[in-house]
Structure 1
């Protein structure tokens, strides 16, 4: 397991590279050009600037999250080929700085969805919260205002320029079905997977967050069956999954341990985080500790260890603790605690393995 840490760039993150490199076992950053609009080709000089910053502190930039997919591609509009060409050129540029994995998603209009960015937990910390009723009884523009007006820091997947045209986006998606979205995703993969193969890059789609339709918009990366269907679209090592335990775990019917065992060879990147799911469908993000949520984090680590996982892992959203002022979900303290919980579980399993080898040498 190779531990990495998401970083949003100088001037756009309260966490510094110097702080990240002090977290035990972290070897690289998960990065992107977050202010680059979806669909635009990434400038090489800016990519090189990030590489130089990472090199200065001895961190690699093997994993990019995300090269966002333009809505015209998801919608299957005639203009999609232009944006796919831009995407391909970005893949080729990222290969030049030794990027190994590109995480992306195929969620219409909204990326991840939460209704409260600072819901208080019993211990006084706050965390990202999803109230299911607010996605059925509320105008989506109200949710947009909640997310993008939270402070000076940008929110990944919630680009104000794109969401300013929310009404027209919803109109474009009127009548778009899950089957349409599958066809448009297949068209996109047909274009990019051969390019990724040639450049030694694994594309890793992120599950929908949460894993069900929102505001009447279709979502398809929601379950084990759908992930299986996705992988069959291109039976290539370059066509993979970012297995996110928090996204998929919001639906208690999802068996994440089974997914790890089935898709083990197609998971180049994993997000490990915990959520507490309530009977009414609400959920709140918690510490990474298994007992604090509904997701069996210790079991997930064991499943990866049993499968000899050698891909990239990052702790996902953390709580906001100890008075830290940070981007919602992306502070230093709780994510660093999460890393140490994951390493503790992994190291204990590794110790048992090594002791077994000593007792039973081959």
Structure 2
């Protein structure tokens, strides 16, 4: 397991590279160019600037998250071909700074969805929260206002240029079925995966968050069965999965440990986080500790250990603790605690395996 840490860039993150450097055994940054609109080709000078920043602290840039997929590709519009060409050229460019994995998603309009970014917990911390009943009653435009209240930091998946077209996007998706989305994803993969193969890069799709339809929009990367179907669309080692235990874990029916064992050779990148799922369908981010949520984090780490996982991992959304003011879900303290919990599990399994019979 190779530990990484998501970083949003200088001037766009409350966490500094100096702070990340002090977290034990973090070797790389999970990065992106968050100021480049989805669909545009990434400028090489901006890519190289991030490389220089990482080099000063000895971090690699092996994992990029995300090179966002333009909505026209998901919709299957004739204009998708130009955006796919831009995507190919961006793959070629990031390969020049050592990228090995590209995490992306294929979720219509919204990359992720929560109803409260600072839900208070009994211990005084706050965290991301999803209230099922509210989603059925809230206007999507009101939700956009809530999500973008902190305008000083970018919110991945909630970029202003995308959300400014919310009305037209909903209209465009009105007739798009899940099968349409599958076909459009296959078209994209057949164009992109050969380019990734040429450059030694693995594409790693992120599951839908949450893993079910919202606002009537189709969602397809939601379950073990659908991941199995996805991998068969283009059967190549370069077509892989970012297995996110938090996204998939919002549905208690998902067997994440089973997914790791089945798909382990197609998981180059792991997001490891915990959520507490309530009986009414609500869920809330928790600490990474197994007992604090519904997701069996200890079992998940053991599954990675038992399958010989050598890919990249990062702690995912953390709580906001000790008064930290940060991008929702992406503070320093709780994610650093999460890393040490994950390493503690990993080291314990390694020590146990080393004991003589």
Normalising by the smaller structure, the TM-score range is over 0.9
TM superposition score normalised by structure 2: 0.99
- CA distance in 1 between partners of 2:133 and 2:86 (Å): 38
Residue 113 (str. 1) matches residue 113 (str. 2): yes
The aligned residue for residue 82 of structure 1 is 82
1:157 paired to 2:157: yes
1:204-260 Cα offsets, whole Å, 9 max, x none, are 000000000000000000000000000000110000000000000000000000000
Distance 2:151 2:325 in 1: 10
Residue 183 of structure 1 is matched in structure 2 by: 183
SS of equivalent residue, structure 1 residue 161 = helix
The Cα shift of 1:150 comes to 2.4
Gaps of 5+ in 2: none
d(CA) in 2 for partners of 1:48, 1:20: 20
TM-score normalised by structure 1 residue count:
0.98
Q: Write out aligned runs for 1:255-294 (5 A).
A: 255-294=255-294
Query: What is the root-mean-square deviation of aligned Cα atoms in Å?
Result: 0.6
After superposing on structure 2, the runs of 4+ consecutive aligned residues of structure 1 that deviate more than 4 Å are none
Shift in Å at residue 151 of structure 1?
3.9
Q: Deviation string for 1:81-103 (max 9, x for gaps)?
A: 00000000000001111100000
Q: Which residue of 1 aligns with 2:95?
A: 95
> Which residues of structure 1 form unaligned runs of 5+?
none
The answer to whether the aligner puts 1:254 opposite 2:262 as a matched pair is: no
- Corresponding residue for 2:233? 233
Which residue does 2:52 correspond to in 1?
A: 52
Helix, strand or coil: the match of 1:155?
A: coil
In 2, the alpha carbon distance for the partners of 1:35 and 1:43 equals: 11
CA distance in 2, matches of 1:336, 1:203: 26
1:111-150 Cα distance to aligned partner (Å, 9 max, x none): 1100000000110100000001121111111101100122
Q: What are the residue-to-residue correspondences of 1:15-26 with 2, within 5 Å?
A: 15-26=15-26
Counterparts of 1:193 and 1:154, CA distance in 2: 28
Q: Which residue of 1 aligns with 2:14?
A: 14
Counterparts of 1:207 and 1:124 in 2: how far apart (Å)? 30
SS at match of 2:243: strand
Distance in 2 between residues matched to 1:160 and 1:129, nearest whole Å:
22
CA distances 1:30-84 after superposition (whole Å, capped 9, x unpaired): 0000111000000000000000100000010000000000000000000000000
